[in-house]
Structure 1
Amino acid sequence: MNKFFILLFIANLSFAQNNITTAKIESDGKDGFHKLVLPTEIRSLSNDDLSDFRIFDSKKNEVPYYFEARSNQSSNTKFFPYKIISKTVVPNKNTVLIFENPKSTINEVILEMANSNITKPYSISGSMDNQKWFGLVNNTSLSTIYPEESPSGFSTVSIPTCFYKYLKIDFNDKKTLPINILNVGFFNSKISKETLLNVPYKSKSIKELKLGKKTQIQINFDNPQIISQISFTISNPKLYKRNVSVYKKATRKVKHKFENYQEQLASFELNSEANNTFDISKIFEKELIIEIENQDNQPLTLSDIQFFQIPIYIITDLKANENYTITTGNKDLNTPQYDLENFKNSISTNLPEAQIIETKQIKNNPKTTVNKTLWQESWFMWLCISIGGIAIAYFATSLAKDMNNKS
Structure 2
Amino acid sequence: MRLKTKTITRSCNIAVLILLFFASIKTASAQKTFKYGAALQQVDSTGFYRINLQPALVAKAKADLSDIRIADGKGNFVPYIQAGSLPQKDQKSFVVFNTIATRLPTDTGTTFIVENKTGLPLDRLWIKLQNTAVQRQINLIGSDDLQQWFAIQENIPLQEAVQNSEGTYMQSLSFPASSYRYLKLLVNDKRRTPIKFLQAGIYTDYAAILAYTQIIPVQFSRVDSNKTTFINLKLNDNYQVNKLHLNISGPKYFKRNITIYQLINGYKETVAETEISATQSTDVLISAKTNQLILQVNNGDNPPLTIKSIDVYQSDEYLISYLEGKQSYRLLTGDSSALAAEYDLKFFADSIKDNTPLITHDAVIKNNIQPPAVVKKGRDYTVFIWIAIVVSLGLLLFLTLKMTKEVGKKTGER
Matched, 1:333 2:349: no
Contact 1:37–1:355 (8 Å) recurs in 2 = yes
The alignment partner of 1:342 has SS state of: helix
Q: Give the alignment partner of residue 196 of structure 1, picking from 193, 207, 212.
A: 212
C-alpha distance in structure 2 between counterparts of 1:248 and 1:33, whole Å? 37
Question: In structure 2, how many angstroms separate the alpha carbons of the residues matched to 1:261 and 1:351?
Answer: 42
Tell me the alpha carbon deviations over residues 159-206 of structure 1, each in whole angstroms, 9 at most, x when there is no partner.
xxxxxxxxxxxxxxxxxxxxxxxxxxxxxxxx9533212122442211
Larger of the two Rg values belongs to structure: 1
* Residue equivalent to 1:219: 233
Percentage of identical aligned residues: 26
SS of corresponding position for 1:341:
helix
Which one-letter code corresponds to 1:215 in the other structure?
Answer: T
* Residue aligning to 1:268: 274
Q: Which runs of 4+ in 1 moved over 6 A?
A: none
Secondary structure of the 2:35 match is: strand
Which runs of no fewer than 5 residues in structure 1 stay unpaired? Answer: 1-16, 75-190, 252-259, 368-376, 385-407
2:62 counterpart (44, 47, 50): 47
TM-score (norm 2): 0.50
- How many residues matched? 233
Partner of 2:181: none
In structure 2, C-alpha distance between the alignment counterparts of 1:312 and 1:232, rounded to whole Å: 23
Query: d(CA) in 2 for partners of 1:337 and 1:331?
Result: 17
Contact 2:220 2:231 in 1 (8 A): yes
More helix by share: 2
Residue 296 of structure 1: which of 301, 323, 327 is its match?
301
Counterpart in 2 of 1:229? 243
Partner letter of residue 250 of structure 2? N
Q: Distance in 2 between matches of 1:205 and 1:302?
A: 10
Provide the rounded CA distance (Å) in 2 between the counterparts of 1:309 and 1:228: 5
Residue 30 of structure 2 is aligned to residue 20 of structure 1: no
Q: Give the distance between the partners of 1:226 and 1:359, measured in 2 at CA.
A: 15
Distance 1:241 1:267 in 2: 14
Q: Give the whole-Å Cα distance in 2 for the aligned partners of 1:226 and 1:378.
A: 34
The aligned amino acid for 1:43 is: V
Alignment map for 1:97-108 (pairs within 5 Å): none
Letter in structure 2 aligned against 1:283? A
Give the TM-score normalised by structure 1: 0.51
Aligned residue runs from structure 1 range 6-405, under 5 A: 20-69=35-84, 192-208=208-224, 210-211=225-226, 213-249=227-263, 262-280=268-286, 282-362=287-367, 364-365=369-370, 380=382
In the alignment, the residues of structure 1 paired with residue 34 and residue 274 of structure 2 have an alpha-carbon distance, to the nearest angstrom, of 36
- Whether contact under 8 Å (1:247, 1:266) holds in the other structure is yes
Distance 1:48 1:378 in 2: 29
Indicate the structure with greater strand content. 1
| DSSP-derived class of the 1:44 partner | helix
Seen in structure 2, the aligned counterparts of structure 1 residues 320 and 338 have a Cα distance that, compared at 3 Å, is: same
Q: Which amino acid aligns with 2:48?
A: F
Note the C-alpha offset of 1:222: 1.8
**Does the Cα contact within 8 Å between 1:20 and 1:365 map onto a contact in 2?**
no
Q: Give the direction of change, closer, same or farther, for the CA distance of 1:330–1:309 in structure 2 (3 Å limit).
A: same
Structure 1 counterpart SS, 2:83: strand
CA drift of 1:27 comes to 3.9
Alignment partner, residue 184 of structure 1: none
Kindly provide the amino acid, as one letter, of the partner of residue 212 in structure 2. L
Distance 1:276 1:316 in 2: 36
**Alpha carbons of 1:284 and 1:247: their partners in 2 closer, same or farther (altered >3 Å)?**
same
Gaps of 5+ in 2: 1-31, 87-92, 94-206, 373-378, 387-414
User: Equivalent residue for 2:13?
Assistant: none
Greater displacement, 300-309 / 40-49: 300-309
